[in-house]
Amino acid sequence: MKVGVLALQGDVPEHLAALGAVLHGDDIVPVRTPEDLAEAEALFMPGGESTTIARLLVQGGLWNPIADRLKSGMPTLATCAGLILLSHELVPSLSGLDPPTFDVLNVQVRRNDYGSQGESFEAPIRVEGLIGGPFPGVFIRSPRIHSVGEGVSPFAWHGSEVVGVRSGMIWGLCFHPELSGDPRIHRMFLESAHQALKVPISGATGPRRRRR
């Protein structure tokens, strides 16, 4: 399975490294153009600055191709800024600067709602179906999920607060699994994507693909 990482801005190297722990390098595609996207069967949308990523998506001609792939069900894991971009609706942020969204996850989200960079924190996260105990959640100027609408299931919680949701194979997280040094969520997502797409995963999570 070829897995893309949207590579316009943000913590792209960290996602590439996290994926490198569970996939062969030649199955990981940094996505900067529509041609790169066409190679990818699943997509990771990293954390970063959602307004900047949205602007670069439009400028680079990637907004519409990604919207089409999302609507056709491409398995996608979005973290932090990525979650903002997938959400149905943004509760206006304090800055008043809010990006357009793809509207494929029926949640209301507010940017920067856990505070500023200085208020970043780490906390144990309970993740449904994750073996091996709580997940180390890293929150950096994270969005908060204000409401979860029809068709969306919460699957990760910080205390009683929902910090991870999914709708089919579109997953969104307020925190950054790519920064925690723990590959379990990347692996869990890839295994689900593999089931959904019925394609083999290379590397540690599946059988090695034979090279030509």
Nearer to ligand GLN, 29 or 84 (CB): 84
Per CB under 6 A, the segment of 16-24, 27-35, 59-67, 76-84 that binds ligand GLN is 76-84
- Could you tell me the two tokens for 190? 């890839």
Nearer to ligand GLN, 112 or 202 (CB): 112
- Least distance in angstroms from the C-beta of 197 to ligand GLN: 27
Backbone angles phi, psi at 44, to 5 degrees: -105, 130
Q: Does 81 bind ligand GLN (CB under 6 A)?
A: yes
- Distance separating the N- and C-terminal Cα atoms of the chain: 16
Nearest to 151 by CA among 204, 67, 73: 73
Q: Sketch the per residue contact string, 97 through 136, with ligand GLN: x for CB under 6 A, - otherwise.
A: --------------xx------------------------
- Is 80 an active-site residue? yes
Q: Using only the alpha carbons of the chain, give its radius of gyration.
A: 16
Sequence-ordered list of residues with C-beta below 8 angstroms from that of 211, at least 6 positions apart, any chain? none
- Is 176 an active-site residue? yes
Name the burial class of residue 116, with classes exposed (0-12), middle (13-18) and buried (19+) by CB atoms within 10 angstroms of its CB: exposed
Assess contact for 143 and 112: CB atoms under 8 A. Answer: yes
Nearer to ligand GLN, 2 or 136 (CB): 136
Q: Does 179 bind ligand GLN (CB under 6 A)?
A: no
The catalytic position among 158, 176, 186, 194 is: 176
Which residues of this chain interact with ligand GLN, rule CB under 6 A? 47-50, 80-81, 84, 111-112, 140-141
